[in-house]
Amino acid sequence: MKQNKAIYAGIDACKAGWIMVKNAGENYAFGIWQHIGDLVAANPDVGRFLIDIPIGLGSPLQPRTIDRRLRRELGKRGSTVFNAPIREAVYAKNYEEAKAKNLAIEGKSISIQSFNICAKIRQVDEFLIQNKHTKLIESHPELCFKYLNEGEPIWSKKTTPEGIEARLNILNKYEPKTSELFRKILSETQRKEAKKDDILDAICLCLVNRRAAENLHFLRDENQSDEKGIGIKIAYF
């Protein structure tokens, strides 16, 4: 099926796998998939996906430098950014092995939070190694919210009622249907599948993707791509 580049989507990791929100004109659709390959295959109409997951992994000869730049962009909210583990650590069998591999190659360990998302990073990495031309582009919701908020990061945490309300208010300025869409997804999914902030982040990336159209901006790594030829850049608008 021919892709329609007017259809944009946002993806966030969630407990059940991945939650996606997509937009075509005035209509929105959403769903949850366990595997990223199944998500992409089930949505051939989407021309571009923004996804909140590290894409392009570091290696001994080509370290990933973009996370430091993203942290600087977010200032005091830089704590929302973790250093993506190197590829060897992402494919490690357990936390101790992952820490040892990262320490040996990059000179620093990785947090348990970083390790806990390694399975999803690996899933996307494996998919992109086989599908380099798939329109999956890394993004970061807090970076997107900063620029939707006139260049000011949102200081409240997205897991609090105040943080959710602040972010919904910003998104409603660009899409008045945001609160209604958020409530709909909330009512039709379970919290054991996706948390409130997962839903909010997927909506944010969808709206940013749609609003940017052909004018996405990017933070770029010192290396254009990783050793597997996967590009390293983070999209925002």
Chain segment 151-184, per-residue pLDDT in tens: 999 999 999 999 999 999 999 999 999 999 999 9
Q: pLDDT value at position 3? A: 41
pLDDT at 4: 41
- What totals of helices (H) and strands (E) does the chain contain, helices first? 10, 7
pLDDT at position 48: 96
Q: How far apart are CA 164 and CA 161, in angstroms?
A: 5
CA atoms within 13 A on the CB side of 185: 25
pLDDT at residue 26 in the model: 83
Task: Report helix, strand or coil for 220.
Answer: strand
Question: Residue type for 47, please?
Answer: G
Whole-number pLDDT of residue 1? 32
| DSSP reduced 3-state for 11 | strand
Other residues' Cβ atoms within 10 Å of the Cβ of residue 151: 7
For residue 82, the SS3 value is coil
* Consecutive 10-residue averages of pLDDT for the chain (237 residues): 68 98 92 98 96 96 94 89 93 97 93 93 97 93 96 94 97 96 98 98 97 93 95 96
